[in-house]
Structure 1
Amino acid sequence: MNRLTRSLKFLVLSIVGVCLAVLLALGGTWSHQTVAYAQADDVVTETDDAVGALLDFAELTQNLEKQEGLLTVYSNVDRGEAYLALTPRQFNRNFLLSATLESGLGEAGLFRGWPINDFVMQFRAMPGDRVQVAVPNTYLRNTGGESWQQRLQETSFSDSIIFVVDVVSIDPSTQAKLIDLSTLLMERDLANLTEGLGWALSNYSRNPELSQLESLQMFPENLEVGTVVGFVGGGATDPLAALFSFSLDGIPDSRGFALQVRYSLSALPVNNSYQPRQADERVGYFTTAFRAPQQVRRADPFVRYINRWHLEKQDPQAEMSPPQEPIVFWIENTTPPEYREAIRQGILVWNEAFAAAGFQNAIEARQMPNNATWDPSDVRYNVVRWSDSLSNWAIGFGPSRVNPLTGQILDADVILDANVIRYLRQLYQGRGLDAPNGSEFYLQLCGQRSQTWYLQWLAMQQAGEAGLEMTRNLEGWPTEGSNQRLTDDHCAGYLNAQHNAFGALALSTLSGADFLSEQLDAFIQQYLVALTAHEVGHTLGLRHNFAGSLLLAPEDLNDRELTTAQGLVSSVMDYFPPNVAPPGTEQGEYFPSRLGPYDLWAIEYGYREAPPSPLGRAEQQMLSRILSRSTEPALAYATDEDIFDFIDPESSAWDLSSDPMQYSLWQLDNAQAVWDRLNRLSVNPGEGYGSLRRRVDLVFNYFFSNALTLTDYVGGQRFRRLNPWENRDSTPFEPIAADKQRAALTALSEEVFAADAFDFSSQLINQLAPDRWRHWGVRLTSFPLDYPIYEQVLEVQSVTLSQLFLADRLARVRDLEFRTDAEDVLTLSELYGSMYQSIWSEVMNSDGNPPEISSLRRGLQRHHLNILSNLVLRRTFWDALNAQSFNEFMATLGTIGAPEDARVLARYQLRQMQDDISDALSRDGDSMAITTRAHLEDVRDRIARVLDAPLLGL
């Protein structure tokens, strides 16, 4: 599939998704409405029919096993029978239902150990021996306590009633009502697996006949039910469904499969002395939020609690004390023994932060015995689980389950994918990453920000916030909300694999035998420690901090004495690439080996205890003292939504050092150095030339990622979360200095846009043959069979150039004069002039020799011309649909909505370009190469047509 076809398919998918989002925003799609009506009709039918006579309790339970604990259950698992007995005091009580994948498919997001859904539910008695299953509305609460306020809230907002079930029998001794638990789980889909597993099951439906109970255990605090859920389908006959469908590579027959699903039902803590802690946007915690509409005197109706564990000191008066109950993480017994110590270190590293908060040994790491009788999915245990998959981008995941009333974390697991090590081992053996199936598609989603930015912008224009959420989910961008925690906590992914792949490739290529023979194990162990620490940080309540890499100056990154004492980053909650030393510099730590200052400070805010005081004043004073340090550079905080529009070049993922520009320039040098060393000898025994082709692709991806970092400096602004009453001398936004922006433009001109920026030997290009295997689990490269070097280079150059001329960026550059009191400001005219000088240098050549413009330069110049023409003509989205290439599509869509000053300057520059080209043709036309002359004549004629064309919107 060629690039234009892939891009158009991606665009079609996006448009269809936007349309679906619009329909959802207007009230739901036809299929959703049909389901809703079917459920409503089903309820009415059950209500109209006379409820059957209750079964005799003794007769019903005589051959069933009785288990007592949190609740009482009667079951015969072999026959698939299970009845839940609910006493009067257990109705209207809050329970937390959790569903976890105990087995998976190793792809499509269906991974062993991954959470599916969790929510608070209640059983509510109804007349006529029926029971409602309800989800109470925790989003709105009456904090005033007055009866009239409660009545107002109850009649203004609704809970969710999801099922009504019949009582099958009543225990005459306790008056407990028995309901059919197996039907509720296996047929009614209590945990909403269909939505929880999402698009992965778009072609499949649950089959109750293939589903069964496997185990049932009742404990004092929880009920654990193991099930097997069968799915059938596999073929999308509807055209719309077929558009979104995909095949599962890891199952032998696409018509069906089974998943083991673990259900856990536990009671929410009540009156357990846990005290919620108020959230503050300057420190990054996941939050539990609700509206208190009766608090009319509050400007903000939301109350926000941080998510954290319940820790209390054994000795409340001591400055340092062990907790009454430590947070215990078990290392699953499926984890390879050689990696358990690194994982243990990644867990225990957080004790340094808790010590700063006054807790001694707050976290324990224990090894799960090989003969353990408990299951890792049991909510009583927090487990670091070792999973396996076919995916190259499922790296790590750190979800937790939280009391939605208080923010107390109740249970947490970390999932590490076995591919974490497999890929690093492959990199050692093969010095490159075997790209996953559809890797180019994942690159478009994850790496090429311009595409996702366009889709998000388009969705916002067409469908408001509903469309924005649709495209965020499509991209895997973290979102907020009680049902989005899986997305919120999902870490690393495809870009993680890409950056770590390049790190191992660069180290093994540039460092020679030292890395291959001595440093590989250290590389793997350091990565596992850092990855585990990152995911455990999520389970402690912490969000990402993409300002966490700004701790050290670039020249200090490889100072081992400094990084082991102070840390490589200020927060392990950042996404950081391997620390690859620039050529000629001795290599330091590859990954952080300890927490940074921000991590210690954030844990102190979340977990330090305050002495009891009236109205919690002591805690408020303590938290204010902690937050007063938030402006310290080492405590800078920027999370997912802060980097969404790439406004701050110094708060982003996959960078390092306090000067990301310098770091990116080093990495561009590293990429070029790796390219120079790749050849036939890079292919190890047992590999084919396809591995060499993938390594070249990998370096292109890495080079492109670092080039985009440079574009963010143009029109960039630093953003910090500040309290206006505590930081009166600072502002949240601070424009990047003009000389720094100019340095970025100069670097792009020299490293990306220059005529000699990419220089590949013909021998290397002719060696880049793809693998020719054709079977499940691989994708045959059929087009283009030869390596598309022209398209690869031009795509890096053109997308980078399009990023510089994004309508949003042009507006920011225009506005810089309003954002700074400095006299030195980068202007739109300077941006335009700088790019013109860089891209059209041949035309302005005055050394007396006729210009020679290579094919790559001609492609880049045409792209620049397209951008300026689109600005002048005010092209629209519908014009973008007529694009003849992906680069043309990018050039059109990115300029939509550009400010009028940008259009006027584009027109001025086209006239200047027309004059310069005319001068060059008249001066050197007869001596030019035919391709150069033809190119310049075509450009001159196209400019004339653009300047004479009527403007849209007038």
Structure 2
Amino acid sequence: MKKIPLVLLFIFSTILYVKGQKPGKIDSATQNLKPYRGYFNFYWDEKNGRILLEVDKFNTEFLYINSLPAGVGSNDLGLDRGQIGGNRVVKFIKSGHKVLLIQPNYDYRAISQNTNERKSVEEAFAQSVLWGFKIEAEENDKVLVNFTPFLLRDGHHLADKLAGADQGDYKVEDSRSAIYLPDTKNFPLNSEFEAIITLTGKAKPNAREIRSVTPDADAITVRMHHSFIQLPDSNYKPRRFDPRSGLYDVSYMDFATPIDEPIVKHLATRHRLEKKDPAAEMSEPKKPIVYYIDPGAPPLVKDALRQGASWWNQAFEAAGYKNAFRVEILPDTVDPMDIRYNIIQWIHRSTRGWSYGESITDPRTGEIIKGQVSLGSLRDRQDFLIAEGLLQPYEDGKPIDTTLMHIVFARLRQLAAHEVGHTLGLQHNFAASVNNRSSVMDYPSPLFSLKADGTVDLSKAYATGIGGWDKRVILYGYQDFAPGTNEDKALKDIISETLKQGYLYITDEDARPADGAHPQAHLWDNGVNAADELNRLMLIRKHLLDNFSEKAIRPGAPMAMLEEVLVPVYLLHRYQVEAASKMLGGLYYTYAIKNDGQTVTKLIAPAEQWKAFGALMSTLSPDALALPEKLIEKIPPRPDGYPRTRELFKSRTGLTFDPMAAAESAAGTTIEFMLNPQRAERLVEYKSRDNTQPGLIPVIDKLVAQTWKAPQQAGYKGELQRLVNGLVLKQLLTLTADPQAAESVRGIALMEIDGLKKWMQVRLNIAPGEEKASLLFGLSQIEAFNKNPDQFKPAPVLIMPDGSPIGD
């Protein structure tokens, strides 16, 4: 073994001594760096591209928010500009030479004066250390840490989201990531940091979404933002949440709760708003709620957004506030990242998509600290497209109908009000359309009718102003009660009065189309009765299709563009079909509280269900599915430069327009809703409880009788009839093969298939050409299923062009 020279031992010991030294002073470490003074002081090291953060608040909780100020631009991937990540309460703690950023667990608490009781809950559940920092310098009670690695990570979990969307495997590439200084700023109540983040990897060959919005799908560059925000003071008074109120809530388990009370606590989410004089019927607020509109929106759009968002002042006035809610254009002197400002931003994507109303909320109390609205800029163009189809305004020698733009801005006003409503704490109310469009928190379908001359009347397309339901929600969430008022009783009285006024409130999951059951809660529908409205809409649709022409497209547009405008007209009934289908095997119910007088549940009258069945069947008739021959002849294959898109009908005929495919997508959707597995099981259950209910067997019997067993038509309409027949069989086979469907449902579907098979075998002997071919193919499908039911998968039905607003 060789001896180590004495000089090397001296060098090693010197290095170890230097490494073991205490960190230097903060002033010395930052003397040549650019300071940013604010909530957390930090310093920019231009030479090394670093941010050094000065931590002077240990064991002091604050709010940490990550967001995506420059996004991916795909609605499908959901990684939009301005998207807010989680709201986390965090704090810094120091241990030796390390500083940890830790997130306490506020899902489990003990609201108690007993320190040991609080400690026992805190120690019972895991917390999360989000990051560890090495101390670079230290002075008194302050330390300096290198904040850069924290900022240059994938804080928004883009890689996970892209992998989950089957786009590819990615990770952050450090050499292509850096601090983004223009949006790294400091304010008295919040410190803001931003970084350019590049994720590299290999996009999958079928990763259409990410390839469509990036110059190089193997290198995705976005910006990620991080906000450290001072938590509000303790003067905010949380408000009890009521599931009938229409507000969002935050919830947690309180282990200090007496055994005879619910352990899960719910608090309503809302902004802090207080009257100057709580005893006055009408009072100005101590501090108004102000929203600021993105100055990057086009001028006319800004006007529409300001008008629509300002409607909320009507609700606050009804709650006794004067000038409590204002909407202004964001001044150049105001930074939208400043936590003190609520923002309405206008965002762009490659496709039309959802708009969002999000909030930065104190998870401890439910207090909304900042509202942020993101409005998709292509939504107005979709409304313009729908109006073109309804009005067909491009007639040679005549001026273009100004109603087109009126409809667009009427919708934008409603959209702004809707999304701002979310940031005020309001949930959706998808039952508002049955009560005279009583809420902007519904999804509105344009309401129109036919005039005597056959033109479309759009004068009442969208409602104007805040609805009656919205005013009741604001009253519950924001009423400032006079001193000495029993607040619990006052809040209960507000809910009682709301119920007396006849408002119905049903929100998200209960209104979705696939397995929803409520007969009056739907998205994008109109009318008190869904079946009646579907029948009305089908009559208007027929008139529009019978008269559809090139007047629906601009002068100079390729004739193939007729298909773009045709899609929303041909599928004018798509959402009303969803609504009517929920009457079949549906259930009326409310979010009732014990003894509040509401109807808890009620089966739908059999006559109403059969009416809905009839309305749905009318959409499957050849007359409803057929397009006029003169219209089909006017839609040629796409010219160069105008490729087919997801907004168009699918095609089985190559380059040519395929009217059969359009019919397949519409009819297939109706049948899928009618024979939804959950709906089918409800039909079975309700029939067992009440023999007057329709039941699954009679529904399938009538469906088969009016399709397969109906007199066969000739020509184009006969082909449409056979198309529908095949779709009915395909859905019955799918239902039978579905392992998630109830066995009773699968058994009934199997029995119906067997009965249909026997009828088909008899009919085969007398059927003419095309019908015989259809019967033979149907029998072959049944045979394939019978041979191997576990492996049987019928060919997928062509889907409709993207819908509400895209992708689903």
TM bucket, shorter chain: 0.7 to 0.9
CA contact (8 A) 2:430 2:507 kept: yes
Deviation string for 1:462-508 (max 9, x for gaps)?
A: xxxxxxxxxxxxxxxxxxxxxxxxxxxxxxxxxxxxxxx3x442134
SS at match of 1:233: strand
Matching of residue 581 in structure 1 with residue 449 in structure 2 = yes
Deviates more, 1:153-162 or 1:307-316: 153-162
Corresponding residue for residue 441 of structure 1: none
Equivalent residue runs for 1:250-265 within 5 Å: 250-256=213-219, 258-265=221-228
Which letter does structure 1 place at the counterpart of 2:469?
A: Y
How far does residue 630 in structure 1 lie from its aligned partner after superposition? 4.3
Q: Distance in 1 between matches of 2:628 and 2:717?
A: 19
Instruction: Return the match for 2:589 from 716, 719, 733.
Output: 719
Query: Which residue of 589, 592, 602 maps to 2:473?
Result: 602
Distance change >3 Å, CA 347–CA 819, structure 1 → 2 = farther
Corresponding position of 1:131: 99
3-state SS of 1:338 partner: helix
Q: Report the 3-state secondary structure (helix = DSSP H, G, I; strand = E; otherwise coil) of the residue aligned with 2:625.
A: coil
| Partner in structure 2 of residue 33 of structure 1 | none
The C-alpha deviation readout for 1:723-776, integer Å capped at 9, x for no partner, is: 12222xx44221221111111122223x22334333323443344334344699
Secondary structure of the corresponding residue to residue 366 of structure 1: strand
* Aligned equivalent of 1:375: 335
Partner of 1:854: 718
**How far did 1:265 drift?**
1.5
Match status 1:278 vs 2:240: yes
Q: 1:545 to 1:515 in 2, by over 3 A?
A: farther
**Aligned residue number for residue 471 of structure 1:** none
In structure 2, which of residues 294, 301, 304 is the aligned counterpart of residue 339 of structure 1? 301
Superimposed CA distance per residue, residues 887-915 of structure 1 (whole angstroms, 9 cap, x where no aligned partner): xxxxxx8xx42526x73586368548735
Q: Deviations over 1:63-122 (max 9, x none)?
A: 2344443233333457534322223xx111111122333334433444333324442221
Asked if 1:212 corresponds to 2:83, the answer is: no
Residue in 2 that maps onto 1:517:
401
| 1:261-308 deviation digits (Å, cap 9, x = unpaired) | 44321111132x111011111122121111113435156321111110
Among 99, 113, 117, the alignment partner of 1:145 is 113
* 1:577 Cα offset (Å): 1.2
Contact 1:94 1:122 in 2 (8 A): yes
1:406 aligns with 2:365: yes
Distance 1:332 1:115 in 2: 17
Cα distance between partner residues in 2 of 1:57 and 1:794? 71
8 Å contact 1:853–1:932 — kept in the other structure? no
TM-aligned CA distance change 1:166 to 1:761, over 3 Å: same
Distance 1:629 1:102 in 2: 43
**Does 2:135 match 1:268?**
no
2:628 matched residue in structure 1? 761
Decide whether aligned partners of structure 1 residues 770 and 719 sit closer, same or farther in structure 2, where only a CA change above 3 A counts.
Answer: farther
1:695-706 equivalences in 2 (<5 Å): 695-706=565-576
Contact between 1:753 and 1:838, CA under 8 Å: does it hold in 2? no
Q: How far apart are the structure 1 equivalents of 2:415 and 2:716?
A: 50
Name the CA distance, whole Å, in 2 between partners of 1:817 and 1:743.
Answer: 17
User: Identical aligned pairs, as a percentage?
Assistant: 24
- Provide the rounded CA distance (Å) in 1 between the counterparts of 2:716 and 2:288: 71
Contact 1:601 1:635 in 2 (8 A): no
* Cα distance change on mapping 1:816 and 1:343 into 2, 3 Å: same
Describe the shift of the 1:736–1:308 C-alpha distance in structure 2 as closer, same or farther (beyond 3 A).
same
Structure 1 residue 663 displacement after superposition: 2.0
1:106 equivalent among 60, 65, 73:
73
Amino acid paired to 1:522? H
Which residue in the other structure is 1:324 paired with? Answer: 286
User: Is 1:655–1:664's contact at 8 Å kept on the other side of the alignment?
Assistant: no
Residues 1:543 and 1:851: Cα distance change in structure 2 (over 3 Å): closer
CA contact (8 A) 1:354 1:603 kept: yes
Q: Could you say what secondary structure the match of 2:52 adopts?
A: strand
Q: Deviations over 1:777-826 (max 9, x none)?
A: 97899962122322331342233223222332222122224666xx8432
Provide the secondary structure at the position in 1 that maps to 2:70. coil
Show CA shifts across 1:659-692 (max 9, x none): 2222222222333233223334544333223311
Deviation at 1:950, TM superposition (A): 11
Distance 1:323 1:947 in 2: 69
Change (3 A) 1:739 1:181: same
Cα deviations by residue, 1:427-456 (Å, 9 ceiling, x for unpaired): 4xxxx4xxxxxxxxxxxxxxxxxxxxxxxx
Tell me whether 1:315 sits opposite 2:277 in the alignment. Answer: yes
* 1:519-551 deviation per Cα after TM superposition (whole angstroms, max 9, x unaligned): 223212211211110011011011111111111
Going from structure 1 to structure 2, the CA distance change for 1:830 and 1:361 (only over 3 Å counts) comes to: same
Q: Is the 8 A contact 2:671 2:728 kept in 1?
A: yes
Q: Quick check: 1:742 aligned with 2:610? A: yes
In structure 2, the residue corresponding to 1:785 is in which secondary structure? coil
Alpha-carbon shift at residue 841 of structure 1 (Å):
4.4
Structure 2 SS opposite 1:522: helix
What SS is found at the alignment partner of 2:297? coil
CA distance in 2, matches of 1:583, 1:309: 45
What does 1:460-539 correspond to in 2, within 5 Å?
Answer: 501=386, 503-508=387-392, 516-539=400-423
CA contact (8 A) 1:305 1:406 kept: yes
Residue of structure 2 equivalent to 1:175: 141
The residue type equivalent to 1:608 in the other structure is Q
How many angstroms apart in 1 are the aligned matches of 2:563 and 2:644? 18
Match in the other structure for 2:319: 357
Extract unaligned runs of 5+ from structure 2: 1-17, 791-808
What per-residue deviation string (whole Å, max 9, x for no partner) do you get for residues 823-847 of structure 1?
843233432332233113445x9xx
| CA distance, structure 1, for counterparts of residue 695 and residue 556 of structure 2 | 55
Counterpart of 2:699 in structure 1 is 831
The range that moved more, 661-670 or 198-207, is 198-207
Among candidates 720, 737, 744, match of residue 899 of structure 1: 744
Partner of 2:564, secondary structure, is: helix
Equivalent pairs, count: 761
For residues 599 and 860 of structure 1, the distance between their equivalents in structure 2, rounded to whole angstroms, comes to 43
Q: Aligned residue for 2:601? A: 733
Tell me, yes or no, if the aligned pair for 1:648 and 1:719 is still in contact at 8 Å.
Answer: yes
- Whole-Å separation in 2 of the counterparts to 1:103 and 1:947: 50
Query: Partners of 2:644 and 2:659 in 1: how far apart?
Result: 26
Q: Give SS of 1:125's match.
A: strand
> Do the aligned partners of 1:543 and 1:639 also contact (CA within 8 Å) in 2?
yes
1:442-457 map, 5 Å: none
Distance 1:262 1:904, change over 3 A: closer
Counterparts of 1:818 and 1:261, CA distance in 2: 56
Q: 2:737 aligns with which of 855, 875, 884?
A: 875
CA distance in 1 between partners of 2:535 and 2:635 (Å) = 27
Q: Specify whether residues 696 and 77 from structure 1 end up closer, same or farther in structure 2 by C-alpha distance, changes over 3 A only.
A: same
What is the distance in 1 between the residues matched to 2:435 and 2:536? 17
Counterpart of 2:198? 231
Moved more, 109-118 or 314-323: 109-118
Equivalent residues of 1:115, 1:399 under 8 A apart: yes
Q: 1:330-383: per-residue Cα shift (whole Å, max 9, x none)? A: 1222222223332222122111111121211111122223xx233212222112
Match of 1:26 in 2: none
Q: Which residue of 2 aligns with 1:622?
A: 490
SS in 2 for 1:707: helix
Residue 672 to residue 510, structure 1, CA distance change in 2 (3 Å): farther
Stretches of structure 1 that go unaligned for 5 or more consecutive residues are 1-48, 433-500, 553-568, 878-892
Displacement of 1:314 after TM fit? Answer: 0.9
Conservation of the 8 A alpha-carbon contact between 2:172 and 2:199: yes
More helix by share: 1
CA contact 1:116–1:196 (8 Å) conserved in 2? no
Taking only aligned residues, the RMSD between alpha carbons, in angstroms, comes to 3.6
